[in-house]
Amino acid sequence: MMEIGLTHYLVLATILFAIGLVGVLRRKNLLLLFMASEILLNSVNVAFAAIGHYLGDLTGQMFAFFVIAIAASEVAVGLGLLIVWYKRTGSIDLDTLTSMRG
Amino acid sequence: MEAIAFYLFAILTIVMFTYTVMSNQALYALSSMAAGMIFISAFFFLLGADFLGVVQIIVYTGAVMALYAFGMMFFDSTREVRENNSPKIVVLTLSALSAVLIIAIVVAPIIGDNIAALYPQSEFVSNPKAVGIVLFTKYLVPFEVAAVMLLVAMIAGIVLAGKKMDRSLTQMKEEEIALLKNNDSEGKVTL
Amino acid sequence: MEMYLYIALFAPLTGSLFAALFGASPKTLWTGVVTSGLLFASFVSSVTLFFHLFAGAEPIHVEMMTWMQTGSLYIPFGFLVDQVSATMMIVVTTVSTVVHVYAIGYMDHDRAFNRFFAWLSAFVFSMMVLVMSDNFAGLFIGWEGVGLCSWALIGFWYHKESATWAANEAFIMNRIADLGMLIGIFLIYWNVGSLQYDDVFAAVPTLDTSVLTLMAIFLFIGAMGKSAQFPLHTWLADAMEGPTPVSALIHAATMVTAGVYLVVRANPLYSLVPDVGYFIAGLGAFVALFAATMALVNRDIKRIIAYSTLSQLGYMFVAAGLGAYWVALFHLMAHAFFKALLFLGAGNVMHAMDDELDPFKMGGLYKVMKWTAILMILASVALAGIWPLAGFFSKDKILEAAFSSHHYIIWGILWVTAGLTAFYSFRLIMLTFFSGEERYKTYGFHPHEAYKFMLWAMAPLAVLAVIAGWFEHPFVHFVTELLPTFEFHTEDVAGMLIVVTSLMALGGIAVAVYLYKDGLLNPKIQQTAVYKLLANQYYIPKFYDEFIAKPYAELSAIFWKQIDLKVVDFMVDFIATSIYKTGEATHTMQNGNLSSMLRWMVVGVVILLLAAVAFAFGLQVAG
């Protein structure tokens, strides 16, 4: 138990991923939904960095780096869209987003 | 030492993120999220990814959470967030199930023995230097593409959120601006 | 010469197709004229071919094209004109031409004039295929074709329920018999390997007797249906629902004789199994007597004539069964002529009496319809077998054949039947044309003679009915080039037989004339049990209805309700409704609600993960 190996980090990443999943499924407020998806991305970053460290490869950190970049731009565009939606319908509740029914 | 740090930060991170997803108050959720980001960067430092840890603090905690804070101010979400009664059992079951499965996958001895490192870490070069070398030689193209993507995201953000962009104040003459102000009896125009 | 074959075969088809073009239009005289003309061309070709063969030429055998060639089965569309088929062709085309011309007048006021001629010519074409084909498969095609056309023609006035019922009865009974015929054909193919007449008749002597017996029996079952032998006879009387020209052509001269033709054509087969032949002869004799008794008391002129046809068919089968094939063919030919004449005359009477069929309501029509009466008397005398008309020669030969084969019981039955035949024929004549007062006047009928051209059309038949018997010797000489001769061992008693038979026939005529000259018989006779038995056709139709038709209908209803509706329909509906219900149940997945969609996404992720774990686990276990 004392020796922290790759497995520990991966289990941690999994737990964080599950927490993020709960958040995505549960949240009705769109803003908080986005935050929960950020948790998902973070857990994956931890996993990448850990694998990179324990295999002695820099590729993991590179991946995590690009994920961060992408997440940042995603937040920018996502919030922009959210603003437009709010201006149109005045609410950011998830249940109002039903125009794409099958 | 490392173990203590790992467990401490692990527990802290989990608690913070759980609070984020479970809380009823939007402000508390936001704050605990920011804290969680910081603790994640601690992990990066533990793993010897110094550059990544700093980038995490700057970008995530600094920029992204700030964006969320602005968004919260804009949307007037300080009120209590009402959640309708979604079946909690379904959600928890699904998440637990996926967690268990992924853990099963990672715990099982799936790590191969003959994986050769593509860009090996070196003891003699500090981490930022190594990252820089790899980033600007091997990962140059993704880097440039990411730069373009960030540019596009920025423009998109401006277009989506901006208002009255068909009129440019800096290119109008003084008289037109005065005219605009006089004609505005309802206080619609904001200069 | 092949040209004449093709003309004889395809002219009726051309006429039929031509008339069919106008099938839905109101009456156009040209359809009748053109079809009659084409049939006349067919007749001329048949006569040419006949005389060609008579002059001593070889039979003409053409193969038009291949129909089927699969594996070792080879069936061509081939046609053969030899002595037997030439005789049949002459009979068919003569009677058909006369009937076509007659029908132009008979169907004068009918709305479906064109359709009638289309079906009539189609029937003639099928019959020609039947008699001209050179293999059993072609025979069967013609067999089915005449069955179909006869169905359409019996049920021609399809608005009448009795007509459609009779048509269905005829067709179904024929189909039941056709099953037997098919089995016979299969047996032939299985044992011989080919369906061509040449190959079959060459191979037949080498086969086992039991196989030959089976073949003969099954083929005869098919003939029983077509020629209305007991027990498949009820359709013939009911088939009188069709127009009278149909009865004249189909149920006197052509279709019903197809069974006799089959036995005559397959004579090499039947010669080798004389026991089957004896059975056929016995059955024929039974039918002859059976039908004659039913005709004694019938009150429908067409039915009387129909039973008389049935009776004469029995005679033909007696001849064929005893091995006297040329005698059967000869009687077939003569019978066709005078029976068709009888039917056409009855048609005239019916037309005059507004389609009234009961002779008890007629009487004394001689004054109004002299020529029809004369023609019908001529035909009846020929039917009764009085010298020198045609019936005498042919019937007499059959009786001689029976006597000389020492089948005295059969001879006795046929002898009695000859008397009965004469009796009921003249009963009909007396009741319709003579017998004192004119009963029809009390029923308000205004009869008139038929059109002149119809009488002229009937004239050739009358002539043939008179003279056909005189050509017995040339006919025998001609036909026995193909058919086997029959040894008559009756040189010493031949004269006696002729006298006895003629006395019986004359006696029958005398009794009929005496009984009916003043009118109806004692009505009390109608109450007796024997009368009732005969009048109800021995209650056989009722028996069939009660014990065969009704249970079958019940069984079909059960199959429909219990099996078809409940099982088959249910399964098909079940597939459809289950798909539909699945769709309905799952369409809530796409309600546009993002959180539920996210939930479904996670469900998908979980399933994929499960698959990954299972796969890896399986690999590990296998590896």
A-C interface: how many C-beta pairs under 8 angstroms?
Answer: 30
Nearest CA in chain B to C595: B86
Chain B neighbors (3+ CB pairs < 8 Å): A, C
Q: Residue C130: what pLDDT?
A: 92
Distance (Å, rounded) from C-alpha B26 to C-alpha B31? 9
- Burial-class residue C58 by CB neighbours within 10 Å (0-12, 13-18, 19+): exposed
Residue-wise pLDDT tens digits, B7-26 = 999 999 999 999 998 888 88
- Tell me, rounded to whole angstroms, the distance of Cα C439 from its chain centroid: 35
Instruction: With beta carbons less than 8 A apart as the criterion, state whether C392 and C385 touch.
Output: yes
Which alpha helices (DSSP H) does C66-160 contain, by range? 83-106, 113-132, 136-154
Token duo for residue C203: 């191979």
Distance CA B33, CA B26 (A): 11
Q: For B102, which of C603, C609, C616 is closest by C-beta distance?
A: C609
Would you call A102 and C590 a contact, using CB atoms and an 8 Å cutoff? yes
Exposed (0-12), middle (13-18) or buried (19+): which is B178, by Cβ within 10 Å?
A: exposed
The single-letter DSSP state of residue C451 is -
Contact criterion met (CB below 8 Å) for C587 and C600: no
**What pLDDT, in 10s, does the model give residues B25-58?**
888 899 999 999 999 999 999 998 899 999 999 9
CB-based contact (8 Å) between B10 and chain A?
yes
CB of C303 closer than 8 Å to CB of C239? no
Do A8 and B72 lie within an 8 Å CB cutoff?
A: no
Query: CB-based contacts of C285: which residues, under 8 Å, 6+ apart?
Result: C314, C318, C409, C410, C413, C414, C417
Confidence band (pLDDT; 50, 70, 90) for B148? very high
If you measure CA to CA, which chain B residue comes closest to A14? B99
Distance from CA of B146 to the nearest CA of C (A): 28
Q: What is the pLDDT of residue B111?
A: 53
Q: Within 10 Å of residue C119's Cβ, how many Cβ atoms?
A: 23
Among the partner residues C595, C610, C612, nearest to B86 by beta-carbon distance = C595
A37 and chain B in contact, CB less than 8 A: no
Q: Which residues of C touch A99 (CB under 8 A)?
A: 592
* 3-state SS class at C67: strand
Decide if B108 and C612 are in contact by the 8 Å CB cutoff: no
- A83-87, B146-150, C132-136, C415-419, range with the lowest pLDDT: A83-87
Specify which residues C69 forms β-bridges with.
C74
Distances (CA, A) of C339 to A82, A91, C313, C458: 101, 100, 11, 12
| Highest-pLDDT range among B149-158, C17-26, C102-111, C532-541 | B149-158
The answer on pLDDT for C583 being more than 80 is yes
Provide the residue type at B147 as one letter: A
| Angle at alpha carbon of residue C349, lines to C345 and C354, rounded to 5° | 145
Q: What are phi and psi of B88, to 5 degrees?
A: -65, -30
Residue A99 in tokens: 């125009």
Q: Which residues of B touch A67 (CB under 8 A)?
A: none
Q: Which residue of A has its CA nearest to C597?
A: A25
CB-neighbour burial class of residue C189 (10 A; exposed 0-12, middle 13-18, buried 19+): middle
Provide the chain B residues 58-97 that lie in CB contact (below 8 A) with chain A.
59-60, 63-64, 67-68, 71-72, 74-75, 77, 81-84, 86, 88, 91-92, 94-96
Per DSSP, the three-state class of C204 is: helix
Task: Tell if the CB–CB gap between A26 and B91 is shorter than 8 Å.
Answer: yes
pLDDT-based confidence at residue C13 (cuts at 50, 70, 90) = very high
DSSP for C359-402 reads GGG---GGGT-HHHHHHHHHHHHHHHT-TTSHHHHHHHHHHHHH
Q: What is the DSSP string of C541-577?
A: HHHHIIIIIHHHHHHHHHIIIIIIIIIIIHHHHHHHH
Contact status of B105 with chain C (Cβ, < 8 Å): yes
A38 touches chain B (CB under 8 A): yes
- Residues in C closer than 8 angstroms to A94, CB to CB, are 593-595
- The neighbours of chain C, by the rule of 3 or more Cβ pairs under 8 Å, are A, B
The mean pLDDT value for C417-433 works out to 88
Label residue C125 by pLDDT band (50, 70, 90): very high
**Closest Cα partner for B104 from A22, C606, A5, C604?**
C606
Alpha carbon distance C299, B103 (integer Å): 101
Band of pLDDT at residue C43, cut at 50, 70 and 90:
very high
Q: State how far Cα C191 lies from the chain centre.
A: 29
> Which chain A residue lies closest to B10 (C-alpha atoms)?
A12
Is residue C591 within 8 angstroms of chain A, CB to CB? yes
Query: How far apart, in whole angstroms, are the C-alpha atoms of residue B94 and residue B90?
Result: 6
- Distance from the C618 Cα atom to the nearest Cα atom in chain A, whole angstroms: 22
Output the pLDDT for position B102.
79
Q: Taking CB atoms and an 8 Å cutoff, what residues of chain A touch C591? A: 98, 101-102
- Kindly report the three-state secondary structure assignment for every residue of C407-439: CHHHHHHHHHHHHHHHHHHHHHHHHHHCCCCCC
Does pLDDT of B112 surpass 60? no
Residue C73 DSSP class: E
Contact C219, C266 (CB under 8 A): yes
End-to-end CA separation in angstroms for chain C: 84
Query: Which of C237, C191, C183 lies closest to C211, judged by CA?
Result: C191
H helix and E strand count, chain B: 8, 0
Tokens of C331: 């009687």
Which tens digit of pLDDT belongs to each residue from C460-509?
888 888 888 888 888 888 888 788 777 777 677 777 888 888 888 888 88
What is the architecture, at CATH level 2, of domain B1-82?
Up-down Bundle (1.20)
Q: Distance (Å, rounded) from C-alpha C54 to C-alpha C581?
A: 79
* Distances from the Cα of A79 to the Cα of A39, A84, B34, angstroms: 16, 9, 17
CA distance C571 to chain A (A): 30
With an 8 Å Cβ cutoff, are C599 and B90 in contact?
Answer: yes
Read off the pLDDT of each residue in C543-566 and give the average, rounded to a whole number: 85
Interface size, chain A vs chain B, as Cβ–Cβ contacts under 8 Å: 222
Cα–Cα dist C531/C312, whole Å: 22
- Is the pLDDT at C531 greater than 90, yes or no? no
Cα dihedral C239, C245, C251, C256, rounded to 10, equals -130
Secondary structure string (H, E, C) spanning C149-183: HHHHHHCCCCCCHHHHHHHHHHHHHHHHHHHHHHH
For residue C577, the distance in angstroms to the closest alpha carbon of chain B comes to 30
Q: Is B81 at the interface with chain C, CB within 8 A?
A: no
Average pLDDT over residues B69-78: 77
Count of alpha carbons within 13 Å of C139, Cβ hemisphere only? 25
Q: Furthest-apart CA pair in chain C: how many Å?
A: 115
Q: Comparing C-alpha atoms, which of C303, C274, C309, C270 is closest to residue C288?
A: C309
Nearest residue to C386 via CA among C395, C399, C373: C395
Of B116-125, B139-148, C175-184, C307-316, which gets the smallest average pLDDT?
Answer: B116-125
Nearest CA-CA distance, residue B191 and chain C, Å: 39
Taking CA–CA distances from A65, the nearest residue in chain B reads B52
Q: Which of B127-136, C225-234, C306-315 has the lowest mean pLDDT?
A: C225-234
Domains and CATH numbers, chain A: 6-91 (1.10.287.3510)
Q: Where are the domains of chain B?
A: 1-82
| pLDDT averaged over every residue in chain C | 86
For residue C588, give the DSSP letter: G
Longest alpha-carbon distance in chain B: 78
